[in-house]
Amino acid sequence: MTDVASLWSYLSTTPLIWLTTTILAYLVADGVARQLGNPPWANPVLLSVLLIAPVLWLTQTDYTAYFEGAQFIHFLLGPATVALALPLWDNRGTIRTSVAPIVLALLTGSIVAAGSAIMLARAFGLPMEVLLSLAPKSTTAPVALGISEAIGGIPALTAVLVIMTGIIGAVTVTPLMNLLRITDWRARGFAVGVAAHGIGTARAFQVNPVAGAYAGIAMALNALLTSVIVPLLVRWLV
């Protein structure tokens, strides 16, 4: 048997170890969340990150090395987004009769998401490039990064803010909607999809398939709308 150091130096050059670690961390996180009955605070993304971060820190692994393995999982976000076509197709009947609520809720949700972020950043006196990085936070990461770059934000900061927004939306949506006694799964799902993109959509699927379908629609439509609305809001509000 080779010594631990050479075994480690071999493993750390293959995607295997971080791919396996990510899957195991998620299985543990998701298992714990399910055991507890999927409470909003036990978000599987957040729990998995909290499990993996100390391992990376203890093994002195930088993110680039981790991502060598984890990129195979990250890549699947593309086909998973395309797969949202199926719940959309399944719910085509109710979608056809809710075109007006969908379009108008998309407009208000999207405008408030970006507008409130801009105004709050101004109220707190944040630097301009931070404000601009914050504005597209509610849309899906590839779109948000493109907008951030185009309006003069810092894409790396936007990437962090987008993921944080997703987790915040996924954690807050259930208590918020229960507090308001909203029982319409379409409205609940749509709201979290507009405000918290794919991570919010993942939470919606965890709770209810109709909510998931409407979150997926909201996320897809907001990807389109945010790229139009954020540059306009920045011009008006900044």
Partner 1 sequence: MLHTFGLLLGCQLLGEVTARGFGLPMPGPVLGLALLVLILGAMPTLAERLRPTTTVILANLSFLFVPAGVGVIGNLEVLSADGIVLLAILTLSTVLSMLAAVGTFIGVRHATERWAP
- Subset of 59-78 contacting partner 1 (CB under 8 A): 62-63, 66-67, 70-71, 73-74, 76-78
User: Where do the H-state alpha helices sit in 124-140?
Assistant: 128-134
What's the closest the beta carbon of residue 45 comes to partner 1, in angstroms? 5
d(CA 18, CA 41): 25
Give, in order, the Cα–Cα distances in Å from 65 to each of 25, 54, 135, 208, 228: 17, 15, 30, 36, 36
d(CA 161, CA 145): 10
Place of tokens 């109710």: 94
1 vs 123 by CB, closer to partner 1: 123
Sequence letter at residue 121: A
List the interface residues with partner 1, window 18-57 (CB under 8 A).
22-23, 25-26, 30, 43-46, 48-49, 52-53, 56
What's the closest the beta carbon of residue 1 comes to partner 1, in angstroms? 31
1 vs 77 by CB, closer to partner 1: 77
List the interface residues with partner 1, window 79-138 (CB under 8 A).
79-90, 98, 100-102, 104-113, 116-117, 120-121, 124, 126, 130, 134, 137-138
58 vs 82 by CB, closer to partner 1: 82
Among the listed residues 28, 59, 149, 159, the single contact to partner 1 using CB under 8 A: 159
Under 8 Å between Cβ of 87 and 193: no
Among the listed residues 132, 153, 165, 211, the single contact to partner 1 using CB under 8 A: 165
Nearest to 215 by CA among 177, 186, 184: 186
